[in-house]
Structure 1
Amino acid sequence: MLQYINDLPPHVVGIRATGEVTKDDMEKVLIPRIDELVARQGEINYLLVPQTDVGNFTLSAWWDDLKLGLKNFTKWNKIAVVTDQKGVEWFSDVFRFFVPGKSKGFALNELDEAVAWISAKE
């Protein structure tokens, strides 16, 4: 399930993932919020807190995620991933070499630091 993270600045989309994440979650929660952000400001600042194993994302959810990433390839400004899953955090740090924006992984106990980083305008 995907849920919005509230109390973030209007230039940031924050999403928490728990349990199973499906295509329906992508289409009803993430994609509309990202589309609205791009329409409003032309760039994406994205905070993701996956509190579920990446294996709990259905194949169709991964497919929608890939399409969303490619559709907005030049719009990604900053991506922060907050998790204690070392593989996901490492992937987030490596991802910065493949997208035009900045990407950074944070541990769960660094959530406040991640929010400050993703919220800071440069």
Structure 2
Amino acid sequence: MLQFINDLPDDIVGIHAVGEVTKEDIDTALIPRLDDLVKRQGEINYLLVLETNAQNFTAGAWFEDVKVGLKHFTKWKKVAVVTDQKSVEWFTNNVFKLLIPGKAQGFPLDKLEDAVRWISEE
């Protein structure tokens, strides 16, 4: 399930992933928020708090996630992924940031405030 993180600056889309994440979650929660952010400011700052195993994303969710990433490919400014999954944090820091034109940084769950501060900086 994807839940909004509402107490963030207006230029950041914050999503909290828990339990199983489906295509419908991506379609109804993530995509409209990203589309609105791009419409309002022309770029994306995205904070993902991942408190579910990456394996809990259904195949449909992964496919939709890739599609939305490609749809807004040139709009990614900053992506912060907050998780205790070392492999996801490593991927964010070493691979993901090479796949998008913006910046990407992984943070452990106990550093959520650092992630919010980093993504909020110009």
TM norm structure 1:
0.97
Question: Does 2:50 match 1:25?
Answer: no
Q: C-alpha separation between the residues in 1 aligned to 2:38 and 2:7?
A: 19
Match of 2:3 in 1: 3
Q: Which residue of 1 aligns with 2:77?
A: 77
Aligned equivalent of 2:118: 117
Query: 1: CA distance between counterparts of 2:42 and 2:111?
Result: 28
For 1:23 and 1:110, locate their aligned partners in 2 and report how far apart those are by CA, in whole Å: 28
Between the two proteins, the alignment pairs up a number of residues equal to 121
Say whether residues 1:93 and 2:98 are aligned partners. Answer: no
Structure 1 residue 38 corresponds to structure 2 residue 34:
no
Q: Could you give the per-residue CA deviations for residues 56-82 of structure 1, whole angstroms, max 9, x where no partner exists?
A: 000000000000000111000000000
How far has the Cα of 1:97 moved from its partner? 1.5
The RMSD of aligned alpha carbons is 0.6
Displacement, 1:55?
Answer: 0.7
Question: What's the % identity of the aligned pairs?
Answer: 63
* Unaligned ranges ≥5, structure 2: none
Task: State the TM-score, normalized to the length of structure 2.
Answer: 0.97
What is the CA distance between 1:96 and its match in structure 2? 1.1
Structure 1 gaps of 5+ residues are none
Q: Secondary structure at the match of 1:105?
A: strand
Find the counterpart in structure 2 of residue 105 from structure 1: 106
The offset of 1:119, in angstroms, is 1.2
Which residue matches 1:49? 49
